[in-house]
Structure 1
């Protein structure tokens, strides 16, 4: 599994104007999953007006992928990089516990994390293929990214592309607050070092337990009981309701919109896209940093 910020929706190339080059662009995000056995590639894409790029978004993409699997799949094992703010945190754990209980055919979900700086994933090859397809092309909207990605590979089959909007994302952070009481102490009362975890396991047989290892070669899993109190009532995952993460589209900064409209005025962005860029919501009261990731 891999998360990549696509080249920002843009087209300032070949204009030779550094002032244009440094204009703010609209961010587009692409989360990729590569299936080793089928060689299928899945891409989930959205732009910054529909969602951010943190643990809620990553958990949603993984959850949607798990939901799409055929009933014959009982055990899923994934390999990904080690970005704590996105894919190795308590919100991902809450999402996977919810998934393994509520997706009837799934029995076990394994999340394995590669050594930072020493990993190569097939999803990286997908990104390289998409970059080659993008070369010398001008892309102005998220839908155009989707078309390009779906045509980036022919053999063995095109990538499967899903465009996500703000209504598609679930609030797994809220789920965590509702059901996860403990992520710091394991069942042996030892402190959990999340930065060292290399393997997370979730199983139907232990619906309130996060299993983990610090090394892929360790023989036994350690366990975290998410119920903090010894006699706490176990979570009934089948009764848990997932809430939406966003009620509306997200505004960009007024400065960014001003830059985008200036590119439109300079015809760096063609006039055909005028209604799209004029319709982008903006606000002067945005506190989040440009291109920031979740910090858990």
Structure 2
């Protein structure tokens, strides 16, 4: 059986959604991870064509959706157990729970270190990106061609100031959340009412009562990050 420590080369496949995968934050994150990795030597990421991106992760989403249909999930703490039990064969899903302090601001680091207008990178057109341990360069292709030639190579230099690159450690992105996120006061009021009226079972009340709320928090989702697409388009015009 292959041990994770024996892995030397990694190929990643993902869709071309700018707000999730195909952006500067992803390229910088992979590059910085590779420089710190103890065993991995190269990483290639392949961005699939929009409309042709059915991958194993899509089947996972479908399994979860079918499993939770007509089921009541009373509290956020139930989700990790439910998702893990959605599948039995060949084994239950492995769920890794992240804490708020584990989320880092890769977007900010990507914006700082990879300016599209300076590198000439057409982010929206990238199909493959290549990373090698020990190299500051990122190589990209705008096609799925397997030839050794690249369409563009550029450097990521995390080091500012007078010291040489090899003498200075790679920087780490800052944490995004210093504390747990607050919910809106309106949502908090509704949850308190559901608990007090025992609509939500008593065993979950403490979890909801501990939630913090702020008047400035709005009940809406943030817009998808499509800035890389916009900057790409402006650089082409």
- Mark yes or no: TM-score above 0.5: yes
Higher-Rg structure is 2
> Is the strand fraction higher in 1 or 2?
1
3-state SS, counterpart of residue 66 of structure 2: helix
Alignment of 1:1-296 (within 5 A): 70-176=4-110, 180=113, 182-186=115-119, 191-206=120-135, 208-217=136-145, 219=147, 220-221=149-150, 222-227=152-157, 233-234=164-165, 238-286=169-217, 289-296=220-227
Q: 1:252–1:281: 8 Å Cα contact kept in structure 2? A: yes
Cα root mean square deviation, aligned = 2.9
CA distance, structure 2, for counterparts of residue 237 and residue 128 of structure 1: 46
Aligned to 1:29: none
Q: Who is 1:48 aligned against? A: none
**TM-score under structure 1 length normalisation:** 0.65
Please report how far the alpha carbon of residue 261 of structure 1 lies from its aligned counterpart in structure 2 after TM superposition.
2.9
Q: Which whole-Å deviations, capped at 9, do the CAs of 1:211-262 have from their partners, x for residues lacking one?
A: 211222263222122349xxx9547674434533221111122222233334
* Unpaired runs of at least 5, structure 1: 1-36, 39-68
Report the TM-score when normalising by structure 2. 0.80
Q: Report how many aligned residue pairs link the two structures.
A: 221
Given that 2:35 and 2:134 are in contact with CA atoms closer than 8 Å, whether structure 1 keeps it comes out as no
- In 2, Cα distance between equivalents of 1:137 and 1:181: 45
